[in-house]
């Protein structure tokens, strides 16, 4: 078993022109090719157009992962009835979506994905100080379902009449993270 990489050894950098992403590889599974292509071909362009923000993660000089965040919403009906926010009368909840999250093939199972998720929670918690947002969403690749389930994400309810997708939608209520930030 490989040793986990401690979070304090990871450096999170917002993607910019000077970051070389060409060494990043996460294509060991065919369904993940688009994750690598996005980082190398589209992430900076999308960021420069204010569609998304991508943060790359370094361990020393090595690019070991990245994640991309965008705004989103989730329909009340997609959440388990007990998870719905009492007294909220609107059809959609504002959300932040993890549009992409990937770990370099050579650094999987070393805690990087979990550490990135903790960083995402921190970012989203900070956003809530200025913008209303309560839910974190992600459309998971089938190979990542276990990761999100272990991280306490809930599977969104899907209308059985909708056409099947290549991803599985999840959501996470960040209320306890917001409360924890306010109590510091």
Task: Give 151's DSSP letter.
Answer: T
CA 20, 23, 26, 27 dihedral sign is: positive
pTM, two decimals, is 0.93
Per-residue pLDDT of 112-132, as tens digits, reads: 999 999 999 999 999 988 999
- Specify whether the CB–CB gap between 25 and 33 falls below 8 A: no
Please give the sequence-ordered ranges of beta strands (E in DSSP) within 18-165, or none if there are none. Answer: 53-59, 62-75, 92-103, 135-140, 154-155
Stated as kind and residue range, the H or E segment containing 112 is: helix 112-127
Q: Which residues are paired to 98 by β-bridges?
A: 69, 138
The fold of 7-183 is Aminopeptidase (3.40.630)
Per-residue pLDDT of 60-76, as tens digits, reads: 999 999 999 999 999 99
Stated as kind and residue range, the H or E segment containing 182 is: helix 175-183
């Amino acid at each position: 078993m490989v040793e986990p990489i401690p979070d304090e050894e990871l450096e999170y950098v917002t993607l910019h022109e000077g970051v070389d992403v060409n060494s990043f590889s996460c294509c060991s599974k065919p369904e993940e090719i688009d994750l690598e292509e996005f980082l190398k071909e589209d992430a900076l362009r999308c960021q420069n157009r204010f569609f998304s923000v991508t943060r790359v993660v370094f361990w020393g000089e090595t690019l070991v992962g990245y994640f991309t965040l965008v705004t989103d919403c989730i329909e009340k009906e997609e959440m388990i009835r007990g998870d719905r926010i009492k007294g909220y009368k609107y059809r959609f909840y504002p959300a932040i979506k993890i549009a992409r999250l990937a770990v370099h093939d050579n650094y999987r199972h070393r805690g990087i994905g979990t550490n990135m998720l903790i960083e995402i929670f921190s970012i989203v918690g900070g956003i809530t100080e200025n913008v209303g947002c309560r839910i974190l969403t992600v459309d998971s690749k089938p190979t990542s379902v276990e990761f999100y389930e272990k991280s306490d994400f809930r599977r969104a309810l899907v209308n059985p009449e909708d056409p099947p997708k290549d991803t599985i939608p999840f959501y996470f209520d960040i209320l306890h993270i917001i409360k924890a930030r306010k109590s510091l």
